[in-house]
Every structure is written in C-alpha cells, then in structure tokens.
Structure 1
Amino acid sequence: MLRLGSLIRNPQTRKGVTLLPPRCFHVSATGPETQFLETSSLGKTRQIAYQKIDGIRTPGIIYIPGFMSHKAATKASMLHSFCQKYGFPYVRYDPSGLGETKGVNITETTLTLWLEDATQVLSHLTDGPQLIVASSMGCWISSLIAKTHPEKFNSLLLLAPAINFGRKYMQVLLSQLPPELKKKFEKDEVVKLFSPDYGEFPLRKSMFEDMKKRELSMEAGSIPIQCPTRIIHGVKDKDVPYKESLQVLGALQTNDVQLLYVKHGGHQLSDSASLEIICDTILKLTAPNSQTQ
C-alpha cells in the first residue's frame, strides 16, 4: 500500500523526542515504511529505526528483540503479518548499533543503551498498555522496564527468557578464547566472533561489565510484573537451559503466569510449529475475558 501521507508530514516533537519522516517507503501490501525516532539519552544521540502499523484491536503489540537481533528477524517479521491479519497495532524496531538505527556503532552499544531504546519506543510510539512480546535478552529488558513503566504492561509473552545471562556467557567465552583474543578482550578491545546460528558479531568486555550492573534478583516474587504473563521455552535450547524458566516463573510477582515447554523447540523458536504456538498464545491472551487479573 502506497502511503503518501507519510512522505510529506512534518517532523513531530514529543517530550524531546523527534519523530522523523520516513527515509524511504515501500509499495507493498505488507511492508511498512521505515521511520525514525530521534532521541538523545545516555550521552548519545541516535535515530532508532522502527516500523509501525495501525490496528483497531487492543492491546497494541510491541516486539523487544534479543541479543544482536532486530526488526527484520523471523519472529519480528512474523508478528507484523500476524498483526495485519488480526487488526492489532504493532511496533518493531532496531536497537542501537543494529539494523537501520543510526548514531551508535555496534561496538559501542550496551545493555543499558538497549534498555533505553526499548523504553523510548514503548513510551513514544505506543498508546496505552501493550502486549509486550519479548525474546531472549528482550525478556531481561522487559523485566527492567516493568520497574519504571508498569502502566505500559497489559500482558507479557516471554520467549526463551535470557535474564542475567551476561556473567555466565562471559565466563564461557573466556574459557574458549585463544590466548591472543583473550588478551584483547581483557583490554576491552573488540573481539569478533562467529556463530553458525547467529553469524558474526563483535564483543567487548565493557558490554558484559555493563550487564552486571543490570542483573535482577531471581528470588521468589522479586520481579515486579503484575500483568498476565506467558512463557514459552524450547526443550532443545542450547543457549539458555529450559529449566531456567521455572526460576523466572517463580520470580514474577503475578500469579497469572503459565509456562509452556516446546519439546522440539530451540532457542530461537523460529520454526513454523513454534511460530504457530506463539500466535495461538497471543490470541488467547488477547481474547475477551481471557485475563484473570
């Protein structure tokens, strides 16, 4: 669909955040134009790339991606088609250093910056409480946002939650790095790694040191999430052991929480069967009279 209005509208400013006109547009029935949310926070000015569609149903849906993921990933793209089909407003975005977002290099980004990105998008691009769909590290980010913006949570869907993963990941990384790369890492120099599942990505020690500052208590009832919550985790997850989701379940304050294990599923939950389960869970969460709290 050609949306001419988006090509000529003036930038809007809301609370110091500028909504920039789209850089480009797409003549497509399914692909919305990429737009940019300009923000200055944590000492960095950046333009957060996002795609947004309108809908008549409530709540709106926002996708918070995992580590090194972005708005073009499989689940984010699938949710766009799903929301178009069922009439939900939907927002997906590129965290700083990834995708089309400008202003921060990938080697400069941190969990704190990604947390700020998600908070800015949730605060300025959505109306009212949202169904927040979070994947992997996005579940950690969502749990942190719940402390400061509980009013934005209508319901929550956690996919393979990777909360507090940084410390353990760094230990594994250090045990596997050859001596020359380990020295670079300890000096906070960039170390480029390659994973068959995720491709090449650069890491530096300061990224993990920042994660330590954001670790959450996993004691029972310590995460202040009050909304209905569903957790989906693949039993074949090689990155985050599926039994860790039992601890997440206990740490959430809400009693309206359910955990679903998918026997065939891996960490990404991007196969067709897992995607179908995700869609079915969203429909149940958003069905009239479905929420008990």
Structure 2
Amino acid sequence: MGGLLALHAALQRPTRVAALVLVAPAVSLADRLWDRLGEVKQQALLSGGAVNLGSDYVAPGADEVSLAFFEEARAFALPEAPGSLDVRCPVRILHGALDDVVPVEVGQRLVSQLAGDDVVLTVAKDGDHRLSSQRDIGLLMSAVAQLEEALQAAHQQE
C-alpha cells in the first residue's frame, strides 16, 4: 500500500514531492479485496468477526482483518475519474503482468487518473506482485536513475 500512501503525499504536499516511483500501486485496494472475499467472509466481517485474507505475501495469520480495516482503507480511496489526481511531478509505475494481488489493469487505469503529463507505466511481462527478479530490480533501478538525472538537470537550470 506504499504506492497509495505516496500518491496521498504527492497530493497533499505537491511542492515537497519531486517524483514518484510506484511499484504495483494498490489503489482501490479495499474494494477489490472486499469483492474477492465472497459472501461468507463478508458476512463474518459484518457480524463483527475477523477473516484471513489468504495472502501468500505475509506471514501466516498476519493477514487477519476485521471490518475496521475496510472502513479505514476506504477513507484513503482516491478519485477514479480520468485526470482526477492532480499529481504534476514525474511518475514511473512498474507493474508485473502476472501480478495476482494488484492486477496490471489497476496500473493502467492509474495512468489515466493522473493529471500530470510525465507518467510512464512499465509492465514486466514475466513479473509478479513482488517484482523481485534481477530483471525487475533492474527496471526499478533504471526508473530511479532516470528520474534522478532529470531532477538534477532541472535543478541545474534553475
């Protein structure tokens, strides 16, 4: 959920955020998770219980949530209309085509939601949610280096 929080930071403090590199940004996470739970787990939550999300990316038991999780997460929901996110800094989004946690379509939709012109989505064809292969890490390092160069050049022109 780091991408979601980074976007909020850029929206709330646009003069303090120079650029963003977002990896499989989990925007609209609460709604997607709720829909994937199914009726039995949804009813358990609505009755005051807790459920396990069944994530392969956290330790067993660490993904147990209550209804409060969904209520709090919805408070961080971002507008979804094209151009509705007034983020004007350069943004690089990296996403794995095989991501089973945050579908690549979420990253594609985010590109249209961002109002800025300097937005690039890179899709790693064989990448999953972790983007942890050497190639994926190379893509991440390249995105950071590219933004660093651009920011340094802009700073020298000032």
What is aligned with 1:63?
none
For 2:7 and 2:128, the matched residues in 1 are separated by: 22
SS of match in other structure, 2:25:
coil
- Count residues with an aligned counterpart: 151
Which of 198, 203, 207 is matched with 2:69 structurally? 207
What is aligned with 2:89?
227
Q: Return the structure number with greater helix share.
A: 2
For 1:158 and 1:270, the matched residues in 2 are separated by: 14
For 2:130 and 2:96, the matched residues in 1 are separated by: 8
**Closer, same or farther in 2 for the Cα pair 1:216/1:173, shift >3 Å?**
same
What is aligned with 1:13?
none
Task: Tell me, yes or no, if the aligned pair for 1:221 and 1:251 is still in contact at 8 Å.
Answer: yes
Q: CA deviation at 1:193?
A: 4.7
For 1:169 and 1:142, the matched residues in 2 are separated by: 20
Q: Percent identity?
A: 25
For 1:270 and 1:219, the matched residues in 2 are separated by: 31
Amino acid at match of 1:186: L
Whether 2:102 is the aligned partner of 1:244: answer no
For 1:198 and 1:274, the matched residues in 2 are separated by: 20
What is aligned with 2:55?
195
**Closer, same or farther in 2 for the Cα pair 1:166/1:283, shift >3 Å?**
same
For 1:228 and 1:195, the matched residues in 2 are separated by: 31
**Closer, same or farther in 2 for the Cα pair 1:274/1:203, shift >3 Å?**
same
For 1:193 and 1:213, the matched residues in 2 are separated by: 20
Higher RCO structure, 1 or 2 (CA under 8 Å, sep 6+): 2
Q: 1:122-175 CA distances to partner (integer Å, 9 max, x unpaired)? A: xxxxxxxxxxxxxxx211112222222112211100111110110121121134
Q: CA deviation at 1:205?
A: 0.9
Whether 2:37 is the aligned partner of 1:173: answer yes
For 1:260 and 1:142, the matched residues in 2 are separated by: 18
SS of match in other structure, 1:199:
coil
Q: TM-score scaled to structure 2, two decimals?
A: 0.84
Task: Tell me, yes or no, if the aligned pair for 1:160 and 1:240 is still in contact at 8 Å.
Answer: yes
What is aligned with 1:148?
12
Structure 2: gaps spanning 5 or more residues: none
What is aligned with 2:27?
163
SS of match in other structure, 1:163:
coil
For 1:192 and 1:242, the matched residues in 2 are separated by: 24
**Closer, same or farther in 2 for the Cα pair 1:173/1:290, shift >3 Å?**
farther
Q: 1:41-83 CA distances to partner (integer Å, 9 max, x unpaired)? A: xxxxxxxxxxxxxxxxxxxxxxxxxxxxxxxxxxxxxxxxxxx
SS of match in other structure, 1:289:
helix
Task: Tell me, yes or no, if the aligned pair for 1:139 and 1:162 is still in contact at 8 Å.
Answer: yes
**Closer, same or farther in 2 for the Cα pair 1:170/1:284, shift >3 Å?**
same
Which of 185, 194, 219 is matched with 2:45 structurally? 185
Q: CA deviation at 1:194?
A: 4.0
For 1:244 and 1:183, the matched residues in 2 are separated by: 27
Q: CA deviation at 1:244?
A: 2.1
Q: Return the structure number with greater strand share.
A: 1
Q: TM-score scaled to structure 1, two decimals?
A: 0.48
State which structure, 1 or 2, has the greater radius of gyration over its C-alpha atoms: 1
Alignment of 1:85-124 (within 5 A): none
For 2:100 and 2:54, the matched residues in 1 are separated by: 16
**Closer, same or farther in 2 for the Cα pair 1:218/1:146, shift >3 Å?**
same
User: What's the Cα RMSD here?
Assistant: 2.0
SS of match in other structure, 1:261:
strand
Q: 1:205-236 CA distances to partner (integer Å, 9 max, x unpaired)? A: 11101222321111111112110111111101
